């Protein structure tokens, strides 16, 4: 598929502070691409460079084959949806949506048709004569969405559009946005700090931190095979355990010692010494104490939180380390009690082992093969 947006080596400074550091991203036509990261990671800065509200100090930006660096914001044909809606408070709903069309000198009757169509898409046609102050937050954001798509923008940019809405509305709106984006096949770049939202709507996600792209991948890729400790920690929840790595043969098979258990794994490259063992709560298997496998770690249940479909257990190992593990709650007699002694299978097949700094993945795991599907 053709690349629609090409971000090449872009750097942005605010004073001495490097807000964006050598960003390289290619976004495909029709793709729903999300910039995900904690606040201050540079995701909004990057979005504003795409929109033309900021200028990068270094690097190039291309839309298809056009070089965009010197194209001012109002000539970029971008639809933008803002966190705080940015509805024109002095115009009616209809006038808000018609605003961009008027700027394009489109005929009046044509404007009416297009605005009506756009308002239908966001299910707001019945409110077209309202003043924005009479609308709820969710309705205002729909107006903003209609206003952005009615001009048939080359690119749709969304800056945390749902963060001011309540939880239930957020889920409904994100589904609506996703469906609308698919049916219009419009290249969309979406900024959020909410990893669940990002996983739910995106074709691909760029996880950002401290002005750098940490990982670009499909939602399941960044969840199942994070490339570094930051991504593993930011997406979902995980347990980090101290590990000691010993190579056992020339084929990079290794033994990893975690909490006294000797776990077998295969490394990409020879490595030994300290490492970080990352295992997600749902990848951990809880076994009975009778199990004599030497790869299991003994522990005690110290806390249990019942969530309906699953139970989150906090388990304390004999070393004092705490981990959390999920178990599906299917039957009464499967529920464990606080104080129960258990053995824990740390599941090295699915675990990701990082080097001591947390920057690099050392081992091949069950989901390593995913990477080649990109």
Partner 1 sequence: MSTRTQVLKKPFNLRLDFWHFVIIAAFILIGFFLIYPLFNIFINSFWQDGKASLENYQEFFSRKYYYSALINSFIVSTSATFFACVLGIPVAYAMSRFNIPFKGVFHILIILTLLSPPFIGAYSWILMLGNNGFITNFLANIGIEIPSIYGLHGMIWVFTLQFYPHIYLYVSGALKTIDVSLEEASSSLGVSGFARIRKVTLPLIFPTVSTGALMVFMASFADFGTPMLIGQGEKVLPILAYDQFISEMGSNPAMASTLSMILLSVTTAVLLFQRHIMNRKTYTMSSLRPPKVIKLSPVKRTLATLMVMGIVTLSIIPQATVITTSFLKTNGPVFVGGFSLDSYREVLYKVPKAIQNTFTYASVAIVIMVIAGLLLSYVVVRRKSKITSFLDALIMIPYVIPGTVLGISLIIAFNKPPIELTGTWVILVIAYVVRKLPYTMRSSTAILHQIDKSVEEASISLGVPPMKTFFKTTAVLMIPGVLSGAILSWVTTINELSSTIVLYYGATATITVSIYSEVFTSNFGTAAALASMLSLATIISLIIIMIISGKKEISV
CA distance 74 to 65: 19
CA distance 152 to 150: 5
Residue closer to partner 1, measured from CB, 97 or 205 = 97
For binding to partner 1 (CB under 8 A), which residues are involved?
Answer: 2-3, 6, 8-9, 51-53, 55-56, 58-60, 62, 65, 69-70, 72-80, 82-84, 86-90, 99-100, 103-104, 144, 147-148, 151, 157
Identify the burial level of 176 via C-beta atoms within 10 angstroms of its C-beta, where 0-12 means exposed, 13-18 middle and 19 or more buried. middle
Strands, E, within 318-370: which ranges?
A: 322-328, 341-345, 352-355, 363-364
Residues 6+ apart with CB under 8 A from 56: 10, 11, 12, 20, 49, 69
Across-strand partners of 285?
A: 345
User: Least distance to partner 1 from the beta carbon of 64, Å?
Assistant: 9
Residue closer to partner 1, measured from CB, 77 or 255 = 77
CA distance 298 to 73: 60
The half-sphere exposure of 65 on its side-chain side, counting CA atoms within 13 A, is 0
The half-sphere exposure of 280 on its side-chain side, counting CA atoms within 13 A, is 15
For residue 172, give Cα distances in angstroms to 138, 146, 209.
10, 16, 28
CA distance 301 to 337: 7
Q: Which residue in the block uniquely carries the two structure tokens 């939602």?
A: 219
User: Least distance to partner 1 from the beta carbon of 93, Å?
Assistant: 14
Residue closer to partner 1, measured from CB, 155 or 342 = 155
Residue closer to partner 1, measured from CB, 101 or 241 = 101
Residue closer to partner 1, measured from CB, 144 or 362 = 144
Residue closer to partner 1, measured from CB, 58 or 291 = 58
User: Least distance to partner 1 from the beta carbon of 146, Å?
Assistant: 12
Q: Report which secondary-structure segment, H or E, holds 233.
A: helix 229-234
Residue closer to partner 1, measured from CB, 119 or 351 = 119
User: Least distance to partner 1 from the beta carbon of 164, Å?
Assistant: 12
């Amino acid at each position: 598929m053709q690349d629609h947006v090409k971000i090449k080596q872009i750097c942005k400074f605010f004073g001495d502070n490097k807000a964006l550091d050598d960003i390289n991203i290619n976004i495909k036509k029709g793709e729903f691409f999300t910039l995900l990261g904690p606040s201050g990671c540079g995701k909004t800065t990057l979005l504003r460079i795409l929109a033309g509200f900021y200028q990068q100090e270094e690097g190039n930006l291309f839309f298809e084959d056009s070089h965009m660096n010197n194209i001012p914001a109002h000539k970029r044909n971008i639809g933008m949806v803002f966190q705080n809606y940015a509805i024109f408070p002095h115009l009616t709903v209809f006038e808000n949506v018609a605003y961009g069309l008027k700027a394009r000198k489109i005929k009046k009757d044509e404007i009416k048709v297009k605005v009506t169509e756009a308002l239908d898409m966001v299910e707001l046609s019945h409110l077209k004569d309202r003043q924005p102050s009479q609308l709820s937050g969710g309705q205002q954001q729909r107006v903003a969405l209609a206003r952005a798509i009615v001009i048939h923008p080359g690119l749709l940019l969304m800056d945390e559009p749902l963060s001011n809405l309540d939880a239930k509305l957020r889920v409904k709106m994100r589904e609506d946005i996703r469906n609308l984006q698919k049916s219009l096949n419009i290249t969309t770049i979406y900024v959020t700090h909410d990893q669940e939202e990002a996983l739910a709507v995106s074709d691909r996600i760029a996880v950002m931190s401290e002005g750098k792209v940490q990982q670009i991948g499909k939602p399941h890729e960044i969840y199942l095979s994070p490339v570094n400790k930051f991504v593993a920690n930011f997406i979902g929840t995980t347990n980090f355990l101290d590990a000691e790595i010993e190579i056992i043969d020339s084929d990079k098979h290794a033994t990893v010692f975690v909490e006294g258990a000797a776990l077998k794994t295969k490394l990409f490259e020879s490595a030994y010494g300290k490492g970080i063992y990352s295992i997600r709560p749902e990848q951990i298997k809880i076994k009975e104490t009778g199990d004599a496998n030497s790869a299991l770690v003994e522990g005690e249940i110290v806390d249990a939180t019942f969530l309906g479909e699953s139970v989150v257990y906090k388990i304390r190992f004999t070393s004092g380390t705490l981990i959390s593990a999920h178990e599906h709650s299917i039957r009464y007699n499967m529920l464990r009690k606080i104080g129960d002694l258990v053995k824990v299978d740390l599941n090295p097949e699915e675990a990701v082992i990082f080097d001591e700094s947390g920057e690099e993945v050392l081992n091949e795991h069950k989901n390593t093969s995913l990477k080649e599907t990109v």
